[in-house]
């Protein structure tokens, strides 16, 4: 993602209703966020008589009209109506690549985010790079569902990392593929897969693991062997997974810690589960 400044327009002679035009700008920015055109939080304000926002664009061309969803295009029209001119984007980042991966180049994808990730939760399975949601051939409501799912994941990951009262319920949500957040994520994977015609895996986070047998643990959903034959070497890139179940469309890694065998049970195969199926 790349730092940019979006200048909405000037209130040169004080004739604009600043509250109204600011609402239009914020509505537009929110629509860009949910469509995956910008990432993370933005900073906004009146400066030198102009309303400006400092934000992160997914790619240098992300705000071109052709990438707008129906909703973000409508919000843009309201901005032009309010300010009298279209907003102007200026990239502020020093180094900007000229070539980017297209989603069509990916043989597979996986869904994953984490507490410190503001980019797209849909990642290329071959390179491990995020694919901006607005580029995927899915409708705008699915993009918004993906944005909301990723936001929920980030919140829960933060709660787990902060080790407070809800540490373990939050961990279960991200580490157990039958927990509600994971079931929702798997359902989203299925919808993306229907649209792109390629496998879309759900990444199952695993922090606590077994002192023995961790490398041969079975798929948490079907109970079958899912250890990958292309076993990653030490310090392998994230997207080279230790585990992959093709029928269940799950991927995962060997646990990071073996210091709590009770917690290691979370996310393991249970032959008599009470499972919620994807809707
Ligand atoms: Zn399986």
What is the 224 CA–ligand 1 centroid distance (Å)? 6
Identify the pLDDT of residue 147.
Answer: 98
In this structure, what are the phi and psi dihedrals at residue 73, rounded to the nearest 5 degrees? -65, -40
Task: Tell me which residue of 205, 192, 214, 201 sits closest to 244, measured CA to CA.
Answer: 201
Residue with tokens 């180049």: 105
Do 51 and 143 lie in one domain? The reply is no
Domain extent for 47: 2-91
What is the 108 CA–ligand 1 centroid distance (Å)? 17
Indicate which CATH number applies to the domain containing 84.
Answer: 3.30.70.100
| Number of structural domains found in the chain | 2
What is the 247 CA–ligand 1 centroid distance (Å)? 6
What is the 237 CA–ligand 1 centroid distance (Å)? 23
Measured between alpha carbons, how far is 215 from 207 in angstroms, rounded to an integer?
13
Do 246 and 120 lie in one domain? The reply is yes
At which of 60, 91, 122 does a domain end? 91
Tens digit of each residue's pLDDT (9 = 90 or more) over 150-196: 999 999 999 999 999 999 999 999 999 999 999 999 999 999 999 99
Say if residue 229's pLDDT is above 90.
no
Tens digit of each residue's pLDDT (9 = 90 or more) over 117-151: 999 999 999 999 999 999 999 999 999 999 999 99
Question: In this structure, is residue 155 part of a structural domain?
Answer: yes
Identify the pLDDT of residue 276.
Answer: 62
Say if residue 267's pLDDT is above 70.
yes
Do 36 and 71 lie in one domain? The reply is yes
At which of 91, 117, 150 does a domain end? 91
Identify the pLDDT of residue 23.
Answer: 96
pTM tops 0.85, yes or no: yes
Structure tokens at 121: 């939760």
Do 112 and 238 lie in one domain? The reply is yes
Q: Please, which residues bridge with residue 56 across strands? A: 3, 39
Do 80 and 118 lie in one domain? The reply is no
Question: In this structure, is residue 273 part of a structural domain?
Answer: no
Do 166 and 74 lie in one domain? The reply is no
How deeply is 268 buried, as exposed, middle or buried, from its count of CB atoms within 10 A (0-12, 13-18, 19+)? middle
- DSSP secondary structure string, 66-123? GG--HHHHHHHHHHHHHHSS--EEEE--S---S----GGG-S-EEE---TT--S-SEE
Identify the pLDDT of residue 278.
Answer: 65
């Amino acid at each position: 993602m790349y730092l940019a400044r979006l200048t909405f327009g000037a209130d040169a002679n004080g004739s604009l209703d600043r509250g109204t035009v600011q609402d239009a700008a914020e509505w537009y920015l929110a629509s860009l966020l949910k469509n995956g055109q910008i990432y993370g939080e933005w900073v906004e304000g009146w400066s030198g008589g102009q309303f400006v926002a400092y934000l992160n664009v997914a790619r240098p061309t992300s705000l071109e009209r052709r990438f707008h969803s129906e909703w973000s295009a409508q919000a843009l029209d309201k901005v032009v109506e309010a300010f009298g001119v279209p907003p102007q984007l200026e990239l502020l980042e020093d180094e900007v690549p000229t070539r980017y991966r297209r989603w069509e180049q990916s043989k597979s994808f996986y869904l994953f985010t984490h507490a410190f990730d503001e980019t797209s939760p849909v990642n290329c399975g071959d390179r491990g790079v995020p694919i901006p949601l607005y580029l995927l051939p899915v409708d705008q409501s699915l993009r918004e569902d993906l944005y909301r799912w990723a936001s929920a994941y980030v919140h829960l990951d933060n709660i787990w990392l902060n080790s407070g009262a809800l540490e373990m319920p939050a961990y279960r949500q991200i580490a157990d593929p039958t927990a509600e957040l994971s079931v929702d994520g798997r359902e989203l994977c299925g919808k993306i897969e229907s649209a792109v015609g390629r496998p879309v895996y759900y990444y199952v986070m695993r922090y606590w693991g077994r002192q023995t047998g961790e490398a041969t643990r079975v798929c948490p959903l079907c109970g079958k062997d899912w250890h990958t034959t292309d076993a990653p070497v030490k310090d392998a890139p994230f997207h080279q997974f230790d585990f992959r179940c093709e029928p269940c469309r799950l991927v995962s890694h060997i646990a990071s810690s073996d210091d709590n065998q009770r917690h290691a049970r979370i996310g393991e195969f249970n032959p008599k589960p009470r499972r919620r199926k994807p809707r």
